Amino acid sequence: MALNLPDFPWDSLEPYRAEARKHPGGVIDLSVGSPVDATPEVVASALAHATQAPSYPLTAGSETLRADMASWWEHQRGTGPLGLDQVFPSIGSKEMVGLLPTLLGVTAADVMVVPRIAYPTYAIGAAVVGATVVREDDPSRWPEGAKLIWINSPSNPTGEVRDLEYLRAAVSRARDIGAVLASDECYAQLVWDVSSSPSLLDERVTEGDQTGLLALYSMSKQSNLAGYRAALVAGGSALMAELLLARKHVGLIVPSPIQAALSAALSDQEHVDVQREKYRRRREVLLPALHKAGFRLDHSEAGLYLWATRFEDSAATLAWLSERGILAAPGTFYGEQGSQHVRVALTARDDAISEAAMRLAA
């Protein structure tokens, strides 16, 4: 019996890709957020030095990695000190997003909440277990009895950042209704128009009590290692113990060479600062070009995307862009409320971003 899952959204972009290919300068693909810059040497060399791996790795992460993860959450995400039982690595963060309802035992009788405009995998996780999805951003409207609530800040696709006040309201409501609150924060170190994007586990939100809370972070974007599949999770001890047990049983284990690379990436902040500046420059080229071409940009204050509208159906905007050889993702991938937006990724090389800006101006 097959799972009842929708088609993979990006497959539907083929007609626009075919149109964009006709451009004499070729396609500029800004439809996916897949990093294009080199994996930092400090990370690549940690991997190269960790190829001997005869034994099974720890699902919880090696002791070194756990210490590095706990320290990273404390110093980069303001969580205050976390116990080593409050962290584990994941095989990229997408598997955690897609499998969290399964690992938590959410069933077809349950309700889950996801953002109104959201990365599609939250709803896929619900579909895997047959749970009902409610799309709601306002914590005061989250339904009684919901089992799991997802928030995502900075948001993919909109780039919206949630402040401390929102996060506190989210925690309070989730605790009132007895739901697990999971926060996907994988763009948190790529902020532009705000000073920071606080974690759900920020001490100013939790006051040191992480019960029922989870935060996910991914190294894919900030460290250009999407191909390694390396991410990390932190949260309340009881919840983390339950998830770790499930992950051990089903074999969701990060390979030990990747654990070594993850440790190296977490211990070096310089490469993150360098990468952030690359994206900042690309954004500074693309954003005004979109404005001049008649787009309005909404949110887009953080993360790797510009959330743009020409006040028409996203299909019409995709067609307009593909005539210029540019591929973007339609807002409809992220929910009905995105029907007049497109998501334009900053993940292309400098020359491709400059060329896209020129085509938008032509």
Which x/- pattern, by CB under 6 A, does the window 307-346 give for ligand PLP?
Answer: ----------------------------------------
Told to check if 347 binds ligand PLP by CB under 6 A, we report no
Encoded one letter per residue, x for contact with ligand PLP by CB under 6 A and - for no contact, window 133-172 reads -------------------x---x----------------
Q: How many CB atoms lie within 10 A of CB 132?
A: 13
Look at residue 294 and give its three-state secondary structure: coil
Give the residue from 77, 63, 71 showing the smallest Cα distance to 259. 63
Among 93-101, 235-243, 251-259, 317-325, which window interacts with ligand PLP (CB under 6 A)? 93-101
DSSP result, 78-131: ------GGGEEEESSSHHHHHHHHHHHT--TT-EEEE-SS--THHHHHHHHHT-
How would you classify the pairing of strands 305-309 and 341-345? antiparallel
How many Cα neighbours within 13 Å face the side chain of 285? 21
Candidate ranges 46-54, 169-177, 218-226, 322-330; the one touching ligand PLP (CB under 6 A): 218-226
Binding segment for ligand PLP (CB under 6 A), chosen from 91-99, 206-214, 236-244, 278-286, is: 91-99
Nearer of residues 124 and 289 to ligand PLP, judged by Cβ:
124
The interface mask with ligand PLP, positions 3-42, x = CB under 6 A, is ------------------------------x---------
Task: Build a one-symbol-per-residue string for 101-120: x at contacts with ligand PLP by CB under 6 A, - elsewhere.
Answer: ------------------x-
Instruction: Give DSSP secondary structure letters for 156-179.
Output: TTT-----HHHHHHHHHHHHHHT-
The reply on whether position 232 binds ligand PLP by CB under 6 A is no
Of 97, 126, 129, 233, the one binding ligand PLP (CB under 6 A) is: 97
Q: What is the DSSP string of 195-257?
A: S----TT-HHHHTT--TTEEEEEESTTTTT-TTT--EEEEE-HHHHHHHHHHHHHHT----HH
- Sole binder of ligand PLP in the list 27, 171, 231, 244 (CB under 6 A): 231
CB-CB contact of 8 with 98 (8 Å): no
Binding of ligand PLP by 226 (CB under 6 A): yes
Minimum CB distance to ligand PLP smaller for 33 or for 125: 33
Stretch that binds ligand PLP, among 69-77, 92-100, 194-202, 337-345 (CB under 6 A): 92-100
C-alpha angle 199-202-203 in degrees, rounded to nearest 5: 175
Contact string 285-304 vs ligand PLP (x = CB under 6 A): --------------------
Select from 66, 77, 94, 173 the one that contacts ligand PLP (CB under 6 A): 94
Under the binding rule (CB under 6 A), the answer on residue 218 touching ligand PLP is yes
How far is residue 186's CA from residue 221's CA, in Å, rounded to a whole number? 8
92 scored as a contact of ligand PLP (CB under 6 A): yes
Total number of residues binding ligand PLP (CB under 6 A)? 14
- Is residue 257 reached through a cis peptide bond, with omega within 30 degrees of 0 on the bond before it? no
**Residue 101, CA distances (Å) to 116, 126, 181, 214, 330 in order:** 18, 6, 12, 13, 27
Please report how many Cα atoms fall inside a 13 Å half-sphere around the Cα of residue 335, on the Cβ side.
20
Binding residues vs ligand PLP (CB under 6 A): 33, 92-94, 97, 119, 152, 156, 184, 186, 218, 220, 226, 231
